[in-house]
Amino acid sequence: MRVLVTGGAGYIGSHLVDRLLELHHDVVVLDDLSTGNLANLHRALPNIRFVKDTILNPDVVDELVAGTDVVFHLAAAVGVGHIVEKPLSSLITNTKGAENVIEACVRHEARLLLASTSEIYGKSAKMPMSEDDDRVLGSTTIARWGYSTAKAIDEHLALAYAEQGLRMSIVRYFNSYGPRLDPRGYGSVVANLMRQALDGEPLTVHGDGTQTRCFTFVNDTVEGTLRAAFDPRGEGLVFNIGNDTETSINDLARMIVAMTNSTSNIQHVSYEARYGKGFEDTKRRIPDVRRATDILGFTAATPLQAGLTHTLQWWRTTHQ
Ligand SMILES: NC(=O)c1ccc[n+]([C@@H]2O[C@H](COP(=O)([O-])OP(=O)(O)OC[C@H]3O[C@@H](n4cnc5c(N)ncnc54)[C@H](O)[C@@H]3O)[C@@H](O)[C@H]2O)c1
């Protein structure tokens, strides 16, 4: 099939591109390289068409979607860090940019896979989080909720167009980690802690570190994405794509210190020091993965220790 991956030079997107090539698809990537990196595509580049442009350019988006069978829309200003630092441009990318992609899919009858996020659930305390659960968000005066809100608009738009015939599915990723995560990027906790441990710096853990996340190895993230996009049973549905094992950030930091034989200690810093006044974090975030398992036959099988070992190997070979 001919596929378009927006954000294909990014962390998840580039792994997806590698896998799509292994599956012998014809791949086009659209990425403005704002947080992506051509080095992520070093293996793929000879075999893909790479277009450096923005999803905010409707003409380019339209031209690339025309004749495409499946569009994987991953391009976004990603993560809470970016939204807090650059709220306006992030919101515009994540709403107008996504609208350009979704509407081009409608015009050209391309199938759409929309990458969304566990941030959708906001600070809901209901665990595990199921796809049809309520969203619980803070005030609009707190910038972080803009990411959740923008992604929710994208989901609503895709779901509304689905009622008019758009073939689409939505995946909500839960804390993906793995090779190519950039610690200078939007602040993945795994990348940051690993860099600090290897550089002999204190590992900075926000808050008291008892907050938990469900870390999902990138190969699993990509596998869930492919199944949601290509399995006809996934059409019209939203899927949580994640591992459902909870790990506290303190435990994650301890694992990374042990694996890297680091002499670093663990330092707790306030959210306020990192993100400014009024920042709200979520204490736990566990996906209910039954729908992805039952319908797509998907499970995020990679244990954290194994995924971290792969990530560390990659880190050591690329950061010497
Ligand atoms: N990494 C995670 O744990 C996680 C969790 C939830 C959701 N997501 C979603 O997954 C997708 C991929 O995220 P990622 O973690 O790979 O981050 P990433 O920053 O590595 O990838 C995003 C890519 O989009 C590109 N991009 C940004 N703005 C663009 C624009 N205007 N036009 C064209 N390209 C643009 C960037 O250059 C980058 O290559 C995003 O939609 C994100 O919201 C990721």
Q: Is the pLDDT of residue 277 over 90?
A: no
Whose Cα sits closest to atom 18 in ligand 1? 10
pLDDT tens, residue by residue, 12-59: 999 999 999 999 999 999 999 999 999 999 999 999 999 999 999 999
Å from CA of 94 to ligand 1 middle: 10
147 in catalytic set: yes
Question: Which atom of ligand 1 is nearest the CA belonging to 116?
Answer: 7
Q: What is the mean pLDDT of residues 53-75?
A: 98
pLDDT tens, residue by residue, 216-256: 999 999 999 999 999 999 999 999 999 999 999 999 999 99
CA–CA separation, 187 vs 244, rounded Å? 21
pLDDT tens, residue by residue, 160-216: 999 999 999 999 999 999 999 987 665 589 999 999 999 999 999 999 999 999 999
Domains (range + CATH), the chain: 2-174+218-244+286-301 (3.40.50.720)
8 Å CB contact between 176 and 213: no
CA–CA separation, 208 vs 224, rounded Å? 32
Rounded to an integer, what is the distance from CA 184 to the centroid of its chain? 16
Å from CA of 115 to ligand 1 middle: 9
Q: What is the mean pLDDT of residues 305-312?
A: 97
Q: What is the DSSP string of 151-209?
A: HHHHHHHHHHHHHTT--EEEEEE--EE-TT--TTTT--HHHHHHHHHHTTPPEEEETTS
Q: Helix, strand, coil proportions of the chain in percent (round to 5)?
A: 45, 20, 40
Give which of 208, 199, 160 is closest to 319, Cα–Cα: 199
Q: Locate 81 and state its tokens.
A: 């860090």
Pairwise pLDDT comparison (79 vs 19), residue with the higher score? 19
Q: Are strands 212-213 and 247-248 parallel, antiparallel or unpaired?
A: antiparallel
Could you give phi then psi for residue 297, rounded to 5 degrees?
Answer: 65, 30
CA–CA separation, 157 vs 126, rounded Å? 25
Whose Cα sits closest to atom 27 in ligand 1? 76
Q: Which residue has the tokens 């190519």?
A: 180
Q: How confident is the model at residue 291 (pLDDT cuts 50, 70, 90)?
A: very high
Å from CA of 258 to ligand 1 middle: 30
Tell me what pLDDT residue 90 has. 95
Cis (ω within 30 of 0) for the bond into 46?
no
81 lines ligand 1 (CB under 6 A): no
Tell me what pLDDT residue 260 has. 95
**Paired residues of 206 in beta bridges:** 269
Instruction: Please tell me what DSSP assigns to residue 122.
Output: B
Tell me what pLDDT residue 320 has. 65
Give which of 113, 96, 122 is closest to 19, Cα–Cα: 113
**How confident is the prediction for the chain on average, in pLDDT?**
94
Tell me what pLDDT residue 188 has. 85
122 lines ligand 1 (CB under 6 A): no
CA–CA separation, 166 vs 282, rounded Å? 33
75 lines ligand 1 (CB under 6 A): yes
Which of 54, 57, 74 is the best mutation target for the ligand 1 pocket, counting ligand atoms within 8 Å of the beta carbon and taking the most?
Answer: 74
Query: How many Å is the Cα radius of gyration of the chain?
Result: 19
Say how many C-beta atoms besides its own lie within 10 A of residue 163's C-beta.
8
Whose Cα sits closest to atom 41 in ligand 1? 74
8 Å CB contact between 241 and 219: no
117 lines ligand 1 (CB under 6 A): yes
Tell me what pLDDT residue 185 has. 60
Q: Is the pLDDT of residue 280 over 80?
A: no
Active-site annotation holder among 121, 147, 177, 186 = 147
Q: Are strands 70-73 and 2-6 parallel, antiparallel or unpaired?
A: parallel
Share of the chain above pLDDT 70, in %: 96
Longest dimension (CA), the chain: 58
